[in-house]
Structure 1
Amino acid sequence: MSLTRNVAIIAHVDHGKTTLVDEILKQASVFRENEETVDCVLDSNDQERERGITILSKIISVNYGGCKMNIIDTPGHADFGGQVERVLKKADCVLLLVDASEGPMPQTRFVLNKAIQLNLQPIVVINKVDKNDARCDEVLDEVHDLFFELGATEEQVFCPVFYGSGRDGWFAESPDGSQENIIPLLDCIVNDIKPPAQVEGPVQLQITTIDYSSYVGRIGIGRVYRGTLNKNKPVMTITADGKEERTQIKQLFVFDGLGRREVEEVECGDICAIVGLSNCDIGVTICDAEEPEALPPLDLDKPTLSMLFRVNDSPLFGQEGELVTSRQVADRLTKEIEKDVALEVEDVNGEAFRVSGRGILHLSILIESMRREGYELSVSQPQVITREIDGVKHEPIENLSVEVPEESAGKVIEIVGARRGEMKTMETRSGRTMLNFSIPTRGIIGLRSRLLTATQGEAIIGHSFEAYEPMKGEFPHRRNGVLISMTQGQSTAFAIDALQQRGTFFVDPNVEVYEGMVVGENSREGDMMVNVLKAKQLTNVRSSGTDKAIKVTPASVKSLEEYLEYVGADELVECTPKTIRLRKKLLREVERKRGSKI
């Protein structure tokens, strides 16, 4: 009997996956008693800590009850659903975390559907039962309904259920059970979950995740499905298109605690990391060199959004970043696709690159990483990737859920409906309304900020990819025009104060602007040229009361994601290490007018 258990933790974003991993690490005694630890240990990336989300799937290993548990922490955001889908191939069991108040959300449905298709053994964990609005029994009924909808087997539906609080470090078989520790949950994994099947024969392993090191290159991570993988025996790699290559493994690692430990061989059912393969890509089968046999290829979800990355050619280029040429941008994007297989990069004309990903968050994390590394670049408006199916143009459709106060439901329905969203269900409980829509991915772009503004920040929004459907009708990207600077220099408080009734400004006084730079949003339709450099003309008259007190409203500061959602078709987002600006593609007004006539 195998002493290994491969457990993936799956849930909607912010339902407590990484916090649960923290507690497993603590209560399985991975840390020394005097060792200092931080919250969300596995969210080690700077952006993961700042955003409070998991971006990269990670694996740790703990020993409990004489059993080795490989725990896989997965991202909860829809933009990283492709990672979840692949890493589930390594698991035997899934811990399905569900918030005791929110219940199943769109990403819950997506990841559970993938787990059921792979016939994995589930354990339902209803988390955050200490919330004032927790509704444990109703949420469990909703989870069971979801199991039935997705075609789960009877064994999967009637799986073990635990209640508790990952933050407080306890889980029990009932909401009012012992609140001491998570030992009942760990015992269930060891005693009730079937171990990996021990399949004898020539070795077979499939790479489902790629790690990258600047020292050794690509590192393939996968699970041994058959036989024993030995470092000293030659192996055969087989790609998805059937290309075979005989090779030798240089290093072989298994997961141990928070790190990896080098070994000579890995038994069937365990997860390992392999260094030294020239053919190291997602879906590649590693098998016995004398008896090669490929595993079924993995289906990777295609990107749904694309953007053009190009060099920064604004008048302020090169003042903040050191890496500004197209060659340097191309090298950085090439390095990124080595690590992120959900990303696609296409050279357009040597000066621009079409980068395709799973959503705005997916692409914005790449842009933010490049900014922090000293790159300067300009990016275009995100474009939805369409498909031609049976001669008809199709576009990606998302499943959108919005939870708002009851009195704000009408506003949400109006906003989503204007973006071709179709309401599927509406449910009200405890003064809050849960709305479920089917909406084109085009409609998701810029929707979050609109809904948060309309509901005074009360909306809880989630979405996940559903399917491709025939193109819906057109709808406006944004209703108002923008305010464009007509000259270069430093903005003044006097000029901005005089123009405040014209719209909302994105810049404060004493900020460097240039001709063609977008400095604000017009209060009406159509773009407007403005002079934000105008200074007050001084005279010899010095009389108290003649000067009007200048009171400038603080600038509306947007994040990178908000700019990417706001940018128009004829505009670019200029990204530098210190500044994010919005600008027109054609900076001079005469060029824009000439272009509009063509």
Structure 2
Amino acid sequence: MLSLNLGILAHIDAGKTSLTERLLHAAGVIDEIGSVDDGNTQTDSLALERQRGITIKSAVVSFRLGDLAVNLIDTPGHPDFIAEVDRVLGALDGAVLVVSAVEGIQAQTRVLMRALQRLRIPTVIFVNKIDRSGARYGELLTRLAAKLAPEIVAMGRTEALGTRGARFTPYDGTEPGFTANLVEVLAEHDDELLAAYVQDESAISHEDLRKRLARRTAEAKAHPVYFGSAVTGAGLDELIAGIREFLPARTGDADGPVSGTVFKVDRAPSGAKVAYVRLFSGTIRTRELVHLGNHERASGNRTDAPGNEAKVTGIDRFQGGTPVRANTLTAGQIGRLWGLSEIQIGDTLGLAAIDAAGKHHFAPPSLESVIYPVRPADKARLRMALSQLAEQDPLINVRQDDLRQEVSVWLYGEVQKEVIQATLANDYGVEAGFRETTTICVERLAGTGSAYELIGTDENPFLATVGLRVEPGPVASGVEFRLEVELGSMPIAFFRTVEETVRETLQQGVHGWEVTDLVVTMTHSGYYARQSHSHGVFDKSMSSTAGDFRNLTPLVLMTAIQQAGTVVHEPVHHFRIEMPADTYGPILPLITRLRGVPHSPEIDGVTCVLEGDLPAAGVHELELLLPGLTSGEGVLETAFERYDPVTGLVPERPRTDHNPLNRKEYLLHVERRV
């Protein structure tokens, strides 16, 4: 059977969840359409989602469109929960990007579209809320082409726009303007079509053009646009037809090797882990062993060690609005697997590699805050609860500071902080508070550095030789580990220990921030082979162990990094403010005070649009002050843009370990521990 794994993506309040409800109703899955305001929608099942009226966790439902089985994933629209969208992208065959006909393109809309295009995910655009006052058609199409993608094709026209009776009428091929626009979009990638159309317009049929559009859409090189209303149902039949016609359905190879990816992890009321899996090929059966490729959250590495297997004890497939117990999960399907106690988000199933698995498609969180239990006796329960929340959202990156007995988490924004607090209270019975939110910086190398320590010398108390060279890498390249020594010069386990320790050590640089975008090369290696006394007992004092390399590597690496020097970089966001023109005066000094760099304003009558760049540290204050300075009429959009070097006082981050740059303290700690 043909299947389509479909994502519904949008900026918050564009009507994404309402559209999901309408699709489920049209497919006969639900008898009554739920309302976000009433808190009775199918996909917003969490009590907190119903209470706040926003989607926090991605949810899967399925339905049939004739012979097509659709697994629909409803994703959060609020930017604080972009990590949920991040994990879903690798599981999609296609997407519907929802845009409000009233509010139009917003910051999150552009962020989502860039990710969909970068991953070449076929995308149909649905312009919602045509029944609302202020809804637009022609102007919005122009902005879609200018701000999202030039290769858009309006698939029909609207009537009675902005009224309860607004409707959408699809083009049937008799409209010259539609045919000309369609040819113009398709001809960007089809010179043969352009030549044939110029020679004889009537030689190319409407059916042929739609087939070509379907191919271009499947390649993510064109985007059909439909208008409608999730509230009244206008345009829904046409959208459903467009999903069937333009988004690529797949059959999958059920007999091929098992290959899948985990995009979500939950815990059942019993405490058991439940993994949400998209299976690309093969078949998984209950009671079978599956190979796991682990995604290492701290380093971003993937390791597919032989023998890393686990038994599937239960399988759920999605049928209608609920998961149903099944014996198998086959290629093309999305299901829930039970029994995989060590599973993590981003893990692969099977031997075949999944390119998208474990990769992040959006910027990481740029905020950090210490979280503490209101009742000191709840300290252990708080840590346990946070560890389980990190399973569901690894990007919160729970950071344990044993020296100060503190725990901190990464955040995308203040709403996420409130949701974490509410979740801890409601689900775990732990009341927690947050300290002041700070910006997460990174360190990048200023130059090149190298260091080494030789086995058997007085200065080196460990039975290991390690030499490392550090060099700057390309921006956004992460960490690359290379070998400049023979792979056979020592056991592979020791090389693996050095690399793992390098990645762990880089979490805290000279100023305490993560060191990234660099190449680390191992230049020296050496060890003492396993030795024993005459009676055959292993003698650790004469033989190198992984612990020797684990303890020596931080000393060598941090010496090399200190020699190279690091520059602290802070996250910078691009901002866009739409406001009354007469409020531009008070806004400009605020942007300057927050260390922002504004561009030239665009003033059109009574409206002013100001864009520019702003350090992430000032975004929250701008959000708080903007309404008062613009009489409540200012609209702010922000999105992460890049990291820039910090100007002025360099921010220091307290270390959570014993600093390898303080050799005496570090060795004293390590020797006592050993």
- Asked if these proteins are the same fold (TM beyond 0.5), I'd say yes
Secondary structure in 1 matching 2:17: helix
Asked if the contact 1:54/1:76 (under 8 Å) is kept, the reply is yes
Aligned to 1:339, which of 382, 392, 404? Answer: 392
Secondary structure in 2 matching 1:86: helix
Structure 1 pair 461–368 and aligned structure 2 pair: CA distance change class (3 A):
farther
Q: Could you tell me which amino acid in structure 1 is paired with residue 424 of structure 2?
A: M
Cα deviations across residues 400-459 of structure 1 (Å, max 9, x unaligned)?
Answer: 233323332333333233212223474456844333332111011232221112223222
Cα deviations across residues 48-99 of structure 1 (Å, max 9, x unaligned)?
Answer: 2333321111111112223211111111122222221220111111111112
Asked if the contact 1:205/1:224 (under 8 Å) is kept, the reply is yes
Q: Could you tell me which amino acid in structure 2 is paired with residue 195 of structure 1?
A: A
Q: Could you tell me which amino acid in structure 2 is paired with residue 278 of structure 1?
A: S
Tell me which residue corresponds to 1:158: 222
Cα deviations across residues 5-51 of structure 1 (Å, max 9, x unaligned)?
Answer: 11111111211111111111222211246999965432232332333
Asked if the contact 2:279/2:330 (under 8 Å) is kept, the reply is yes
Distance 1:411 1:17 in 2: 36
Secondary structure in 1 matching 2:266: strand
Asked if the contact 1:106/1:399 (under 8 Å) is kept, the reply is no
Structure 1 pair 474–55 and aligned structure 2 pair: CA distance change class (3 A):
farther
Asked if the contact 2:365/2:410 (under 8 Å) is kept, the reply is yes
Tell me which residue corresponds to 2:406: 352
Tell me which residue corresponds to 1:111: 112
Structure 1 pair 472–440 and aligned structure 2 pair: CA distance change class (3 A):
farther
Structure 1 pair 128–331 and aligned structure 2 pair: CA distance change class (3 A):
same
Distance 2:258 2:600 in 1: 49
Task: Give, in angstroms, the shift of residue 344 of structure 1.
Answer: 1.5
Asked if the contact 2:151/2:222 (under 8 Å) is kept, the reply is no
1:253 aligns with 2:316: yes
1:448 aligns with 2:623: yes
Secondary structure in 2 matching 1:44: coil
Task: Give, in angstroms, the shift of residue 164 of structure 1.
Answer: 1.4
Task: Give, in angstroms, the shift of residue 160 of structure 1.
Answer: 1.6
Structure 1 pair 279–430 and aligned structure 2 pair: CA distance change class (3 A):
farther
Tell me which residue corresponds to 2:541: none
Task: Give, in angstroms, the shift of residue 394 of structure 1.
Answer: 0.8
Tell me which residue corresponds to 2:199: none
Distance 1:426 1:191 in 2: 43
Structure 1 pair 132–307 and aligned structure 2 pair: CA distance change class (3 A):
same
Aligned to 1:192, which of 243, 246, 249? Answer: 246
Asked if the contact 1:197/1:269 (under 8 Å) is kept, the reply is yes
Distance 1:40 1:34 in 2: 7
Secondary structure in 2 matching 1:69: strand
Q: Could you tell me which amino acid in structure 2 is paired with residue 346 of structure 1?
A: R
Q: Which moved more, 1:88-97 or 1:225-234?
A: 225-234
Tell me which residue corresponds to 2:172: none
Distance 2:131 2:90 in 1: 33
Task: Give, in angstroms, the shift of residue 163 of structure 1.
Answer: 0.7
Task: Give, in angstroms, the shift of residue 371 of structure 1.
Answer: 4.0
Aligned to 1:294, which of 353, 365, 382? Answer: 353
Tell me which residue corresponds to 2:77: 76
Asked if the contact 1:85/1:111 (under 8 Å) is kept, the reply is no
1:167 aligns with 2:166: no
Tell me which residue corresponds to 2:584: 409
Asked if the contact 2:42/2:321 (under 8 Å) is kept, the reply is no
So what's the TM-score if we normalise by structure 2?
A: 0.62
Distance 1:261 1:346 in 2: 37
Distance 1:402 1:357 in 2: 23
Q: Could you tell me which amino acid in structure 2 is paired with residue 115 of structure 1?
A: L
Q: Which moved more, 1:394-403 or 1:405-414?
A: 405-414
Distance 2:605 2:48 in 1: 35
Q: Could you tell me which amino acid in structure 1 is paired with residue 15 of structure 2?
A: G
Tell me which residue corresponds to 1:362: 416
Task: Give, in angstroms, the shift of residue 304 of structure 1.
Answer: 1.8
Q: Could you tell me which amino acid in structure 1 is paired with residue 329 of structure 2?
A: V
Distance 1:103 1:35 in 2: 24
Tell me which residue corresponds to 2:201: none
Secondary structure in 2 matching 1:20: helix
| Unpaired stretches in structure 2, ≥5 consecutive residues | 153-184, 190-215, 295-301, 446-565, 654-674
Tell me which residue corresponds to 1:575: none
Distance 1:449 1:166 in 2: 32
Asked if the contact 1:324/1:376 (under 8 Å) is kept, the reply is no
Count of matched residue positions in the alignment of Structure 1 and Structure 2: 452
1:437 aligns with 2:491: no
Asked if the contact 1:22/1:39 (under 8 Å) is kept, the reply is no
Distance 2:32 2:424 in 1: 39
Task: Give, in angstroms, the shift of residue 107 of structure 1.
Answer: 1.0
Structure 1 pair 74–410 and aligned structure 2 pair: CA distance change class (3 A):
farther
Task: Give, in angstroms, the shift of residue 150 of structure 1.
Answer: 11
Q: Which moved more, 1:23-32 or 1:115-124?
A: 23-32
Asked if the contact 1:326/1:352 (under 8 Å) is kept, the reply is no
Secondary structure in 2 matching 1:293: coil
| Unpaired stretches in structure 1, ≥5 consecutive residues | 172-181, 313-317, 476-568, 570-598
Tell me which residue corresponds to 1:223: 278
Asked if the contact 2:369/2:436 (under 8 Å) is kept, the reply is yes
Cα deviations across residues 485-537 of structure 1 (Å, max 9, x unaligned)?
Answer: xxxxxxxxxxxxxxxxxxxxxxxxxxxxxxxxxxxxxxxxxxxxxxxxxxxxx
Structure 1 pair 114–420 and aligned structure 2 pair: CA distance change class (3 A):
same
Cα deviations across residues 152-205 of structure 1 (Å, max 9, x unaligned)?
Answer: 99534532211112222211xxxxxxxxxx111112212332212624621101
Aligned to 1:398, which of 551, 562, 573? Answer: 573
1:471 aligns with 2:622: no
Q: Could you tell me which amino acid in structure 1 is paired with residue 358 of structure 2?
A: L
Aligned to 1:234, which of 289, 294, 300? Answer: 289
Distance 1:342 1:219 in 2: 19
Q: Could you tell me which amino acid in structure 1 is paired with residue 72 of structure 2?
A: I
Aligned to 1:265, which of 308, 328, 349? Answer: 328
Aligned to 2:366, which of 286, 304, 310? Answer: 304
1:214 aligns with 2:389: no
Aligned to 1:243, which of 305, 310, 319? Answer: 305
Asked if the contact 1:396/1:465 (under 8 Å) is kept, the reply is yes
Tell me which residue corresponds to 1:552: none
Percent of aligned pairs with the same residue?
A: 26
Q: Could you tell me which amino acid in structure 1 is paired with residue 367 of structure 2?
A: L
Tell me which residue corresponds to 1:131: 132
Distance 1:271 1:251 in 2: 14
**Which structure carries more helix by proportion?**
2
Secondary structure in 2 matching 1:280: coil
Task: Give, in angstroms, the shift of residue 463 of structure 1.
Answer: 2.3
Distance 1:35 1:53 in 2: 14
Tell me which residue corresponds to 1:579: none
Q: Could you tell me which amino acid in structure 1 is paired with residue 260 of structure 2?
A: L
Task: Give, in angstroms, the shift of residue 113 of structure 1.
Answer: 1.3
Asked if the contact 1:253/1:273 (under 8 Å) is kept, the reply is yes
Distance 1:454 1:429 in 2: 19
Distance 2:379 2:151 in 1: 47
Task: Give, in angstroms, the shift of residue 299 of structure 1.
Answer: 1.9
Distance 1:163 1:184 in 2: 9
Cα deviations across residues 230-271 of structure 1 (Å, max 9, x unaligned)?
Answer: 334322112123334122211111112221011122221111
1:328 aligns with 2:381: yes
Tell me which residue corresponds to 2:99: 98
Task: Give, in angstroms, the shift of residue 331 of structure 1.
Answer: 2.3
Secondary structure in 2 matching 1:167: coil
Distance 2:40 2:341 in 1: 37
Distance 2:40 2:250 in 1: 31
Q: Could you tell me which amino acid in structure 2 is paired with residue 234 of structure 1?
A: L
Cα deviations across residues 347-392 of structure 1 (Å, max 9, x unaligned)?
Answer: 2247421222233222221123334464344421111111011222
Task: Give, in angstroms, the shift of residue 399 of structure 1.
Answer: 2.5
Secondary structure in 2 matching 1:369: helix
Asked if the contact 2:576/2:609 (under 8 Å) is kept, the reply is yes
Secondary structure in 2 matching 1:132: coil
